[in-house]
Amino acid sequence: MSYESLNIYGLEPHNVPSSLDMSAELSAVSSQVETVPPKLYNVKVVQFWRGEKEPLRPYPLHWAIYVETSPGIGNTYQLVGNQTDYTIDIKLNQPLENSEDSRGSYSVGSVSQAELTELETILPRVDIIHNVPWWNSQDWVDDALRYLKSWGFSDIIGEMELACLQENMCWILECRPGIENAVEFVGDSEDLACILSNRRYAEAHRRYWKVHTDWREVAQELERLAST
C-alpha cells in the first residue's frame, strides 16, 4: 500500500507502526508476563501398624505411597491382599484410609500434575512377588520408587536415600509416643525388621543411631561432590 493510498483513508505514514515497533511492544509485554511454575505434589511413604507377633515385636509395618492433592485428600498407591494374592490398589482423591493405624510418613520427593497422571499407568507395571515369605508391601514401595526414578521422575529421591528408606521409617516409628527411642533392627537380609528394644538399651541405641546418621550425612555429601 502506497503513502498516497494511506492519505485517502486519512492516515499519515508516520502514524502507522512499523513491524519493528510492533516487535518492541510485544517484547515489552512478554517481559511483564511472569512464568508460573508447575504445581508440585508431595510424595510420601506412609506406614501403618499391623499388630505384634509377640510383646514388643511388631509385624512389619504396611507401607503405601500417598500423594496429597488437596488438604486431607489424596491418591493412595499400595498392595492389598496377602502373599498368595497381592495386587495393586489405587484410590484417587480420597482421604487416607485407616489413619488411626498410621505410624508416620516420610517425604520421598514430588511430582508434577502430568507425572501424577502417569502414576496410574506406571505403578501397575512394578513387579509383584507372590509366595515369598520375606517379600511384602515395603519391598513393593521401594521397588516402585526406584522404578519411577528410572522412568525420569527427577524429583524422587536418589539411590542412596532410597537405600536408607527402611531406616528412616524406623526412625519415625521410634518417635511415636510410648516407643521413645527403643527401635532397633533384628534379623538378616531375608528377615530384616525393626522391633521395640528393651528400654535399658535406649541410650546405647541413641548413640548408635547418632553415629549412623552422621555417617549417612557424610556419604551424601561425598555423593553430591562426586556429581558436581
pLDDT digits (tens, 9 = 90+) for 142-159: 999 999 999 999 999 998
Indicate the SS3 state at residue 16: coil
Q: Do 79 and 159 fall into the same domain?
A: yes
Q: Would the pLDDT of 70 be above 50?
A: yes
Q: In what order do the strands lie in the sheet with 40-48?
A: 87-94, 73-80, 62-70, 40-48, 102-112
Q: Do 95 and 191 fall into the same domain?
A: yes
Cell 519391598, residue? 139
Q: Do 67 and 26 fall into the same domain?
A: no
Q: Do 21 and 98 fall into the same domain?
A: no
d(Cα 177, Cα 188) in Å, to the nearest integer? 28
With bands split at pLDDT 50, 70 and 90, how would you rate the model's confidence at 99?
confident
How high is the pLDDT of residue 205?
A: 52
Q: Is the pTM of this model over 0.85?
A: no
Residue range 85-98: average pLDDT? 95
Q: Would the pLDDT of 120 be above 80?
A: yes
Q: Do 16 and 59 fall into the same domain?
A: no
How high is the pLDDT of residue 197?
A: 47
Q: Would the pLDDT of 47 be above 90?
A: yes
Instruction: Please state, for a pLDDT cut of 70, what percent of the chain lies above it.
Output: 67
Q: Do 167 and 187 fall into the same domain?
A: yes
Three-state DSSP string of 82-120: CCCCCEEEEEEEECCCCHHHEEEEEEEEEEEHHHHHHHH
H or E stretch at 182 = none
Residue range 72-78: average pLDDT? 96
With bands split at pLDDT 50, 70 and 90, how would you rate the model's confidence at 5?
very low
b/e burial code for range 143-156 (CB count within 10 A of at least 16 → b): bbbebbbeeebeeb
d(Cα 66, Cα 137) in Å, to the nearest integer? 13
With bands split at pLDDT 50, 70 and 90, how would you rate the model's confidence at 77?
very high
- By the 8 A CB rule, do 170 and 183 touch? yes
Q: Do 100 and 180 fall into the same domain?
A: yes
Q: Do 176 and 63 fall into the same domain?
A: yes
Q: Do 61 and 14 fall into the same domain?
A: no
d(Cα 187, Cα 197) in Å, to the nearest integer? 13
Q: Which residue has the higher pLDDT, 138 or 4?
A: 138
How high is the pLDDT of residue 159?
A: 87
Q: Do 28 and 48 fall into the same domain?
A: no
How high is the pLDDT of residue 167?
A: 78
Report which DSSP code applies to 187: S
Per-residue cell: 189: 537380609
Residue pLDDT, tens place only, 210-222: 676 677 778 778 8
Task: Name 165's bridge partners.
Answer: none
How high is the pLDDT of residue 131?
A: 93
In this structure, is the dihedral angle defined by the CA atoms of residues 195, 51, 68 and 45, taken in order, positive or negative? positive
Segments forming the whole domain that contains residue 23: 3-32
Q: Do 75 and 24 fall into the same domain?
A: no
Q: Do 113 and 185 fall into the same domain?
A: yes
Q: Strands 52-54, 57-58: parallel, antiparallel or unpaired by DSSP?
A: antiparallel
Domain count, the chain: 2
Residue 167, burial from CB neighbour count under 10 angstroms (0-12, 13-18, 19+): middle
